[in-house]
Structure formats: structure tokens, C-alpha cells
């Protein structure tokens, strides 16, 4: 039945699959960052929230043997860390970037300590139960499609659902309108009788939940274990994707998939093992970072929410 398939076609299928897999955590975390920044709170701590989500998901999955509970745990722990960020930035009007840095430092230290406590391991945990992949049998033997979509983590599909959902929530619901208003012009929102701090608090927690979701994907769906500092800067790339995608859900998706494609491209180069290409692998890795700098420097106009980064202080009663 199987004919000799052109290896280039196989590779193309593999590249598509790899792109989708690599972009999933980026898009999820970028969506998270979008909720927070749309509401006016900078969330540098995405990296830490992803790491926390990855760890908790792996730990819960390991304890209970149920990866779906692990996913819930990962989302909840990301949200919990976001509560800390929200308390510091929204309730107590602290410096958002400093607090985000604190979140990252705390999460890096905490997950590494807990890796030792839970698995008594230095670098990587024991294998944990993974979320089972979704198989689409009818297309299994189709040349490119089969390799690309034949076997895929359900979270990749969920990621697309989350993008659609975020779009709906942000642009079609009253809550979304409030989130956008509190990021653009909080005093007007306040005048309209909405508590700006409540809106921001909820938005930051949603942001943490989504980042935790992305982190969980890494540990219990993509790899099947928790590794020390396993997010490796993906939270910052997600932040870059958010800016590159101009603070919109569709933009986040496109930018996330593009950065995911660069990652997938790297993997493909590594598999191909062509020494001439290998030499320039680092430059491919640099591309997302350099592109963001170039984009910010004015090739394309990016417009952040107006009030982002500033705490909203109610005027004192006269």
C-alpha cells in the first residue's frame, strides 16, 4: 500500500507538525499576556507562570495518574501565581515590571526546589502520564497530511479554540469591552461606574491561567516529564509574539505560529544534519528576537494599550 514517498514531502509534513507543536505554548502564553496588557497590567512574569504550570501539571499527573487533572492543576497554579502578581500590581499598585521579575525568580527557584522534593531529581523528573494524542485514522496514510495531522496532541486543537474564545470574549462581551477600556482609558471606565481594579485583577488571573495552560502543554503533552527551567525563555518569546501580533488574538496566533515555525525549522535542520546549515543554526534561533527589535524600531507601527504599565489611582474624594 505504501508507495515510496518523496522524502521531501515527508519532511514538509513533519515541518508542519513541528510548527504546530512548537507554537502551541507560545500562542497560549501570548494570549495570556494579551488579556493582562489589554487591561493595562504588564505581565513580564509569563515565563514564571508557564514554568509553574508545567511543574504543577507534571506533579499532579504523577500523583494522581490522571493527566487531565494535571492540566487543571497546571492552569490553576498559573492563575494562583498571577493572583500574587495581581495583588502586588493591582491591589497594592506596585511596580509591574519589578513584580513580574519577582514572579520569574520565585517560580524558577520554587520549581527547582520542588523537583528535588517531589522526585528527588536534579535535572528532570520521572516520566509522568501524558495526555493521550488524538489520532485521525482516515488520513493516516495520506502523504503530507498523514505526517502533519495524523497524530496530534488535543491541546494543539484546544489552542485554536482558545484563540477563537479569546477573540469572542475580548470583542463581543461586556467583560471584554471593560478589559479593553481599562487598558486604554481607566478613568473613563471608572466614571462609567465599573471598578477598574476588579477588571484588571480578573484579567491578570486569566492571563496566568492561560500561561499555566501553555506550560502544562510542555510538560504533560509535549514531553511527558518536567525538566529544570524547561520553559527556557518561551515566556519571553510569547511576550515578543504578543507585541509582534499587535495585542490582538489573531495577531498572537499568527506571530506565535511564525515563531513556532522558526523553532520547527531549527528542528528540521537538526534532523537533516547538513553541516553547512548547522553552522547558521544560531542565527535562525536569533531571528524571532531580532525581528521584534526591528519591528519595534519602526518597520511596522505597533500600538500598545495606552494605559499599559501604569497603576490606576482613584482620585481622592474632594
Partner 1 sequence: MTADESSAEVEVPLTTKPLSSLDLLNAKLYTWSFWKPVMWAVISIVLSLIVSAVIMLLSGYDPLLAYRTLFYGMIIQPDYALYFATPLILTGLSVALAFKCGLFNIGAEGQVYMGSMAAAIVGYAVALPIVIHPLTCLAIGAIAGGLWGFVPGLLKAYRGAHEVVTTMMLSYTAILFTQWLATYPLREPGQVQLTPQLPAILPSAAIPNVVGNYLHWGIALAIVSVFVVAFILNRTVLGYEMRAVGFNRDAAEYAGIDPRRNMALALGLSGALAGLAGAGEILGNYGRFIDHWSPGIGFDGITVAVLGRNHPWGTLLAAIFFGALRSGGTFMNAVAHVPIEMVGVIQGLIVLFVAAPRVNDWLAKSGFGYAIWVKNEPKIAVPNLAALVFGVISSVLALGYCTMKGLGGMFIGLYFLVAIVGAVSFGMTLSKYRRAPFIHVVLCMLWLLTGAVDSLYLGGVSFRTAAVMSIAGFMIAVALFWVRSKMIKEGRCQP
Any contact of residue 267 with partner 1 (CB under 8 A)? no
Any contact of residue 128 with partner 1 (CB under 8 A)? no
Scanning the structure block, which residue is given the C-alpha cell 504550570? 53
Binding-site member from 44, 131, 211, 253 for partner 1 (CB under 8 A): 44
Scanning the structure block, which residue is given the C-alpha cell 499568527? 254
Q: Residues 6 or more apart from 307 whose CB is under 8 A from it?
A: 40, 182, 183, 184, 185, 186
| Residue 256 grid coordinates | 506565535
Any contact of residue 119 with partner 1 (CB under 8 A)? no
Stretch near partner 1 under the rule CB under 8 A, chosen from 97-105, 154-162, 173-181, 209-217: 97-105
Any contact of residue 110 with partner 1 (CB under 8 A)? yes
Q: Which residues pair with 106 in a beta bridge?
A: none
The residue (of 101 and 151) whose beta carbon lies closer to partner 1 is 101
In the chain, what is the straight-line distance between the N-terminal and C-terminal CA atoms, in Å? 82
| Spatial distance between the Cα atoms of 201 and 208, rounded to a whole number of angstroms | 11
| Residue 170 grid coordinates | 475580548
Any contact of residue 34 with partner 1 (CB under 8 A)? no
CB of 196 closer than 8 Å to CB of 189: yes
Q: Look at residue 225 and give its three-state secondary structure.
A: coil
- Give me the 286-305 binding string for partner 1, x by CB under 8 A, dash otherwise: x--xx-xx--xxx-----x-
The residue (of 113 and 165) whose beta carbon lies closer to partner 1 is 113
- Give me the 236-265 binding string for partner 1, x by CB under 8 A, dash otherwise: x--xx--x----------------------
Question: CB of 2: closest distance to partner 1 in angstroms?
Answer: 39
Any contact of residue 95 with partner 1 (CB under 8 A)? yes
The residue (of 110 and 167) whose beta carbon lies closer to partner 1 is 110
b/e for 251-274, b at 16 or more Cβ within 10 A?
bbbbbbbbbbbbbbbbebeeeeee
Distances (CA, A) of 188 to 12, 78, 106, 180, 201: 51, 31, 35, 12, 18
Residues that bind partner 1 (CB under 8 A): 42, 44, 60, 63-64, 66, 69, 80, 84, 87-89, 92-95, 97-99, 101-110, 112-114, 116-117, 233, 236, 239-240, 243, 279, 282-283, 285-286, 289-290, 292-293, 296-298, 304
Amino acid at each position: 500500500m505504501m508507495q515510496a514517498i518523496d522524502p521531501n514531502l515527508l519532511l514538509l509534513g513533519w515541518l508542519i507538525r513541528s510548527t504546530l507543536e512548537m507554537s502551541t505554548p507560545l500562542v497560549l502564553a501570548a494570549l495570556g499576556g494579551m488579556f493582562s496588557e489589554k487591561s493595562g497590567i504588564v505581565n513580564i512574569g509569563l515565563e514564571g507562570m508557564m514554568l509553574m504550570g508545567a511543574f504543577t501539571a507534571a506533579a499532579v499527573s504523577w500523583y494522581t495518574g490522571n493527566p487531565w487533572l494535571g492540566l487543571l492543576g497546571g492552569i490553576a497554579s498559573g492563575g494562583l501565581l498571577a493572583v500574587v502578581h495581581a495583588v502586588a500590581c493591582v491591589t497594592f499598585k506596585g511596580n509591574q515590571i519589578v513584580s513580574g521579575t519577582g514572579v520569574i525568580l520565585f517560580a524558577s527557584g520554587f520549581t527547582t526546589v520542588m523537583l528535588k522534593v517531589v522526585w528527588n531529581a536534579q535535572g528532570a523528573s520521572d516520566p509522568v502520564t501524558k495526555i493521550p494524542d488524538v489520532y485521525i485514522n482516515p488520513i493516516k496514510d495520506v502523504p503530507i497530511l498523514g505526517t502533519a495531522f495524523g497524530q496530534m496532541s488535543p491541546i494543539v486543537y484546544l489552542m485554536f479554540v482558545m484563540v477563537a474564545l479569546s477573540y469572542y470574549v475580548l470583542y463581543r462581551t461586556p467583560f471584554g469591552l471593560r478589559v479593553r477600556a481599562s487598558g486604554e482609558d481607566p478613568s473613563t471606565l471608572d466614571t462609567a461606574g465599573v471598578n477598574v481594579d476588579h477588571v484588571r485583577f480578573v484579567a491578570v488571573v486569566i492571563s496566568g491561567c492561560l500561561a499555566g495552560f501553555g506550560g502544562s502543554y510542555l510538560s504533560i503533552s509535549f514531553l511527558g516529564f518536567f525538566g529544570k527551567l524547561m520553559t527556557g525563555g518561551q515566556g519571553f518569546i510569547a511576550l515578543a509574539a504578543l507585541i509582534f501580533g499587535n495585542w490582538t488574538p489573531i495577531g498572537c496566533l499568527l506571530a506565535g505560529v511564525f515563531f513556532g515555525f522558526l523553532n520547527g525549522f531549527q528542528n528540521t535542520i537538526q534532523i537533516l544534519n547538513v553541516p553547512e546549515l548547522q553552522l547558521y543554526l544560531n542565527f535562525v534561533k536569533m531571528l524571532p528576537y531580532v525581528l521584534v527589535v526591528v519591528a519595534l524600531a519602526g518597520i511596522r507601527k505597533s500600538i500598545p494599550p495606552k494605559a499599559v504599565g501604569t497603576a490606576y489611582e482613584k482620585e481622592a474624594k474632594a
